[in-house]
Amino acid sequence: MPLELYYFLSITAVNILLSWAMYLPYRVAHLHFITVANMAISGYSAGWLVMTLHVPFGWALLVGFALGGGIGYLVSLFIGDAPTFAVVIVGFTFIFITRTVIENLNAVGGTMGMFGLPDIGGNPDAHRWIIMAILAGLLLLVGFLLHRFDHSRLGRAASAVFVDKDLAASLGVDIRRLGMLLQTVSCTIAGGTGVLYGFIYRSLHVDFFTFELVGIAMTIVFVGGYATPWGTVVLAPILYGVPLLLPPAVQEWRIVLYGAALVLVLVLKPEGFITRRFVVSLESFLSVSRKKRNSFTREET
Amino acid sequence: MQEFIAQVINGLSLGSIYVLLVTGFNLLLLVAMIIHFAYPQVVVFSMYVTWLVLQMTGNNLPLGIAAGIASSVIINLLSAPLFQKVMSNRRDVDINSSMVLSMGIGMIITDILSHSFNEGLPVAFPDSLSSIVPLVRFGLISVQVGQVWSLGIGIIAVSAIFLILYRTRPGRAFRAIAEDPSGARLVGIPILRTGLYSYGLSGILGGLIAVLLAMLLGSASPGLGEQVAHKVLAVSIIAGLGNLVGGLVVGLLLGILEAIVQGYISGSWSNAIAFVVMLVVILARPKGLFGSKL
């Protein structure tokens, strides 16, 4: 697989997974930026396990998921039903503390970073295919779970909490437990994504996990459409890919472009490009055409 | 003991800047009903404008300070229609979307600063502004001119804000909107115009803070806004969102805590400890110590 294509596809997949990890708690109006800190913690832990203790990659990946989920659960015990701004600041604080700890830990390379993570399949090409296969599998799994969540009672409960917490509580929704569940799942996804992020580049550096990454994920979620998980899938490749086609002088300003896109969409199209109404009408259209096709096939037989 | 007193003095001057920042932030929150997360980034942008004007005019201080204040007011007033549009889109007060919008504005400002000014490198202010000259020295205790200015102007500015809020007609309008926007509209208070006043006032405050920060730190970098933004929101939450008096107390306490930790613990750990303390308080009391005014 060509290197450029590999990086484009794998980083797009990471952006989608990170954005989904942010989308999920936002269903109850929580901007959960701790996901980026969890990516760093899990990524570095997995890297350390593989490099120092020679733990197989598969186990290290599982530890990454578990670590992310564990931290997410512990934090959610305190902020499961906290106001959005408190959740935001907890996330930012976590990012800052995580970065400081990593910078001061020689075991994980400190400010120099962690380099030379091993090839998973024994050679670079196998490594790329394995990473791509894992990312594709993860995208399918998380996408399927999100789709099921959106069409479940839990999804409807989350929508109720987003619109009006008091109303949702009076309807019997346990806001705290729902918030805890979404935050924990979100952090689990982020943990595994962090491990894969490190192994894509076969290196880790604190500058991979900055507030800029938060901004990119936020732009993908809000410009794509925060009410469905599918806007993320459409926007992630566009937002990451389009700047790559621009001249290098313009590419340097991509964060300004992302910020401008975020501001414009919030002002002009607050629900983002892929709205819930659009997804529902697309689903009903597909279901009608499927029914028509089935009845047509029956008539023919 | 001398070192401790010296750090408390450092902390008070730093804390006074946090207090000013939180006051400007809370003013926008209470009156315009927005969480202007990028307010500190606007302040850092004004610092850069001050630096640029000083460079261009051969360190003309009055002009540099005026340019810093003007830029802060202009950015605040220019962003006002964006915030108003986002609020009207939701047909109700939705401070969360204003926070996301503000983060977008913050991304733009930070990236512009890291590309356009001084090739993205930190900028250093001239000695005539940065005022790191010791005014009083007693053993380890040294009080610098910049510290005295920031503390003095901090006290005057916060007093002026409180005076405006509690002794003037626009101030009463500010408080009425903060208490009950619908009620304020019913009694004929012009919500939009009063909201714009709050953008202007917090802009003036932002410009002043930019000058004080330049005096106290002597330099600025593109990433400064993010770190300060983070602390301001944390102080605001710990105090209780919109609680002006709480913001005053917590802002000063954070400044002192940071300075004391920096005095006794070396390296980047000192900042992290301040963040850990903030994190613990927020996790324990996500709705604030002094109660939210929202």
pLDDT of residue B89: 66
Interacting residues of A244 by C-beta distance below 8 A, sequence separation 6+: A8, A251
Place of tokens 């006074």: B16
Contacts (Cβ under 8 Å, ≥6 apart) of B158: B16, B19, B20, B23, B248
How far apart, in whole angstroms, are the C-alpha atoms of residue B280 and residue A129? 43
CA distance A187 to A36: 9
pLDDT digits (tens, 9 = 90+) for B224-255: 888 888 888 888 888 888 888 888 888 889 88
CB contact under 8 A, A101 and B233: no
Q: Which helix (H) or strand (E) holds A246?
A: none
pLDDT tens by residue, A200-255 = 999 999 989 988 899 999 999 999 998 889 999 999 999 888 888 888 888 888 89
- Cα separation, A188 vs A69, in Å, equals 4
Reported as a single tens digit per residue, the pLDDT across B27-69 is 888 877 788 889 999 999 999 999 999 999 988 889 999 999 9
Distances B293 to A99, B33, B46, B66 between C-alpha atoms, Å:
33, 11, 29, 33
Contact indicator for A190, A38 with CB cutoff of 8 Å: yes
Q: Which of A85, A97, A256 sits opposite B111 (nearest CB)?
A: A256
pLDDT bucket at B94, cuts 50 / 70 / 90: low
* Relative orientation angle of helices A84-104 and B95-116, to the nearest 10 degrees: 40
Residues of chain B with pLDDT > 70, as a percent, come to: 94
Q: How confident is the model at residue B93, as a pLDDT?
A: 46
Contact B173, B194 (CB under 8 A): yes
Distance between CA atoms of residues A44 and A37, nearest Å: 11
Distance CA B266, CA B262 (A): 6
- Chain B residue closest in CA terms to A221: B100
Question: Regarding predicted confidence, which is higher, B25 or B96?
Answer: B25
Return the SS3 of B248.
Answer: helix
> Which stretch of DSSP H or E encloses residue A102?
helix A84-104
Q: Do B286 and A83 touch (CB under 8 A)?
A: yes
The tokens describing B205, both together, are: 């405050």
Q: Is the dihedral of CA A289, A292, A294, A300 positive or negative?
A: negative
Show contacts of A48-57: CB within 8 Å, 24+ apart.
A48/A107, A48/A108, A48/A114, A50/A117, A50/A118, A51/A114, A51/A116, A51/A117, A51/A118, A52/A107, A57/A118, A57/A120, A57/A199
Q: Under an 8 A CB cutoff, do A90 and B267 touch?
A: no
Whole-angstrom Cα distance, residue A245 to residue A251? 8
Residue in A closest to B232 by C-alpha: A89
CA distances (Å), A232 to each of A10, A13, A22, A227, A257, in order?
A: 15, 10, 10, 10, 17
SS3 call for B294: coil
Q: At what angle do helices A254-268 and A230-245 cross, to 10 degrees?
A: 140
For residue A275, the 8-state DSSP code is: -
Q: What pLDDT is recorded for position A246? A: 85
Neighbours of A271 (CB within 10 A): 18
**pTM, 2 dp:** 0.88
Which chain A residues touch B if contact means CB-CB below 8 Å? 29, 31, 75, 78-79, 82-86, 88-90, 92-94, 96-97, 100-101, 103-104, 211-212, 215, 218-219, 222, 252-253, 255-256, 258-260, 262-263, 266-267, 270
- In the predicted model, is pLDDT for residue B154 greater than 50? yes
Would you call A267 and B103 a contact, using CB atoms and an 8 Å cutoff? no
**Of A89, A255, A263, which has the smallest distance from its Cβ to B282's Cβ?**
A89
Rounded-to-integer distance, Cα B16 and Cα B256, Å? 10
CB contact under 8 A, B104 and A82: no
Beta-carbon count within 10 A of B52 CB: 18
Q: Mean pLDDT throughout B73-102?
A: 80
**B128-141 mean pLDDT:** 70
Q: Name the residue with higher pLDDT: B92 or B68.
A: B68
Copy the structure tokens of residue B260.
């004391």
Helix or strand run (H / E) with residue B150 = helix B145-167
- Give the side-chain half-sphere CA count within 13 A for B282: 31
Structure tokens at A88: 């935001």
Helix, strand, coil % (nearest 5) of chain A?
80, 0, 20
Amino acid present at A94: F
Q: How big is chain B, counted in residues? A: 294
The answer, yes or no, to whether residue B92 has pLDDT greater than 60, is: no
Q: Which residues of chain A have pLDDT under 50?
A: none
Q: Which of A186-190, B205-209, B287-291 has the highest mean pLDDT?
A: A186-190
What angle separates helix A3-26 from helix A34-52, to the nearest 10 degrees? Answer: 130
Tokens 């604190």 sit on residue: A206
Please indicate whether, in this complex, the C-beta atoms of A253 and B115 are within 8 angstroms of each other.
Answer: yes
Q: For residue A102, what pLDDT is reported?
A: 92
Q: Give the mean pLDDT of B150-156.
A: 84
Give exposure, A196-220, as e/b (b: 16+ Cβ within 10 Å): bbbbbebebbbebbbbbbbbbbbbb
The whole-angstrom separation of Cα A190 and Cα A20 is: 9
How close is the nearest chain B Cα to the Cα of A98, in Å? 9
The nearest CA of chain B is from the CA of A63 a distance in Å of 25
Poorest-pLDDT segment among A212-226, B151-165, B242-256, B257-271: B257-271
- Indicate the burial class of A244 (C-beta count within 10 angstroms; 0-12, 13-18, 19 or more): exposed
Alpha-carbon gap, residue B96 to A238, rounded angstroms: 26
Q: How far apart are CA A283 and CA A292, in angstroms?
A: 14
Q: How confident is the model at residue B132 (pLDDT cuts 50, 70, 90)?
A: low
Q: How far is CA A113 from the centre of its chain?
A: 23
The answer to whether the CB of A46 falls within 8 A of the CB of A195 is yes
Residue A91 contacts residue A33 (beta carbons within 8 Å): yes
